[in-house]
Structure 1
Amino acid sequence: MIFCILAGFGLVSLIRPQNAFSDNENRPLEQYPEWKLQGVLDGSFQQDFDNAFSDQFAGRDSWMGFSTSVEKLLGFRDIGDVYLGKDNYYFAKTTQEDIDQKNYLQNLRYVEYLGEKNAGKTQILLAPSPAVVLQDKLPQKAPYYDAKAMYEEADTLLSSVKNIKAQSTIVEYSRQNQVYYKTDHHWSLLGAYAAYCAYCNQNDETKHTYGYFTPQKITQDFFGTMYSKTLDPAAKADTMYAATNIPLADVTCDGTLKKGIYDVGKLTQKDKYAYFFGGNYGKAEIAMKQGGDKKLLVIKDSFANSFVPFLMEDYSDITMLDLRYYNASVQKLVEQGDYDRILILYEMSNFAQDTNIYKIVH
């Protein structure tokens, strides 16, 4: 009977229409390869078939959720490279072995080079990973990377770049507030606001209160990237907020004019964090209809998407570059843009492992 059940699922997985994309995992799914003799002989066909069969297996998401439930019952708190933390928090398992130290130091040198070329203008904000701030939520004795040492290395290497330190401010806010999503790797709107406060304080700039930005609830049904790796049936949905008291602006993303900085249509999809700017683009340009008279360049990862709205009132123009998708010359853009400030904003472990930072020197 067990054999028939497994064989039945296997047969269904082979003959049913293939799924092209997983909403839960936010990635394309492997497709069954075309049979070729050469592929069979060199083993590539078998490997590709195995990968596709895993992705296309009938009821895959339900089986993953069932597997997580069983592992939890057995006492596991490390499932699919995700730590199951206290109070329904899910953390990416990032140990010291996962950090490419050589790459991290080289990325800092690239940032320092940019700072030398743009003296007094360049700043960096390395956002702490959720588990760095919420260490008490991690499973007992769970190994994690040494963020303190990495921040110290940044202080040592960056002499021409102002290092904005946001961790202590975020920690302070975390004592009574949720500063990171429980099912996702991003900071919440309040976490982004805490980083904004640190940014303003360390630049001696006036900051507004959180209430000034009139945060509004946009969804209470957000299941993020950490949930997608476990599909834990016991996970509790996150509530998302967005700042609404912000200047009107013309937003152009990779040459396409948008209706604003928020994409309401994304709230009907799995990746609801893409509500901010509609996701990530190589180049996003924000031209305020009313605002300050300064220009800002932000070289960033997705953490900046919920942070930048807090800065819009202080600048006339903000340009955001995501080096994963931007392949033009950053140096030429800096020279032609005449920016008053350049801000590099990445989550710490993502910055350490990113292989595109070199583009800022070209």
Structure 2
Amino acid sequence: MAVADLTRKPTTEARPRPRKLSGPQKTAILFLCLGEKRGSSLLSRLDDQEIQEVTRAMSGLGSISSEAVEQVMSDFVEEITNGGGVVGSFSVAENMLRALLPGEQVDSILKDIRGPLKERDLWARFGALSENVIANYLKNEHEQTAAAILSNVKTDVAAKVLPLLGEEKMNQVVERMIRMEAVPQHMMAQIEESLQADVMNAGAQPTTNEQHQRMADLFNKLDRVAFDAMAPALTSSVPDSFEAIKAKMFTFEDLARLEPMDLAKVMRGMPGNTVPTALKGASQGTREAFLDSLPARSRDMLAEEMNSMGPVRRRDVSAAQALALDYARTLAEDEQIRLPMNDEEDDTVL
């Protein structure tokens, strides 16, 4: 049985398929439908190359809908429809191979399969690098190599990198990306080895921007008294870096820049007297922003509670503000609010 046999279109009209499946993927679906025992028996009729192709397809198959299965297995329509889809995974492929082949042969096949799965992580890490780092690397590469690399990263990354290559090289790379066919496996292996050696090892060191963000996160969690005490010295010794770090910091005062509805949502989630305690150590402008985001009755109650509290210890104020910031970040991570950030991309363009 040849793998290519399953690529033939059925004589009857098929339903629109959710995604285009290759011959090995269709064969893998067939084996999954038959189960381990029967699938293994059928797999034994293939040669080593075909076994490797099917195993590779099965290991990366993921979830397949019943509609897609119907298109591959038209004579199993009723059984597949009642049973739903099938799921292919590395472990399923491994179990099926071990029921059929000697252990050493299975290990050899799976070693080749595991490689590309790990390479996906390489491309994910490469795409996470700064676009300037990627562009500077591609400027020294042949246009065809650059096209192959940018075809393997996310489109939003490629869109940021291309203009940094210069107009002439960008046009040449884009043209090759448009015309590009499948890159031979040995060529992609060479490209990936070069990326690992030339870029990823060097890229393991944090960029200046990443280091500034790390320090900003650290300062956000640092006791305010300690931060204020060291600020003058840092302003004197590393003025440019310290200003860049402060621009990335998100402090309690920044909550005043939230949309009124978002700010009110943060306050509603605060326990006990957290909000009035936090506001006792805030600037007048921040207090007004908090009060203005509330309905009249709630605003009057908060103002009265603040006035009746009397003096509050600084450490209690810091703890309350830190709690409010943590809760705001949690809401932002859940996409319930949007935090104001000191980012040029957030500027308004007229």
TM-score class, shorter-chain normalisation, is under 0.3
Structure whose residues are more often helix by fraction = 2
Rg comparison, structure with higher value: 2
Structure whose residues are more often strand by fraction = 1
Which has the higher relative contact order, 1 or 2, with Cα contacts under 8 A spaced 6 or more apart?
A: 1
How does the TM-score come out when normalised to structure 1? 0.25
How does the TM-score come out when normalised to structure 2? 0.25
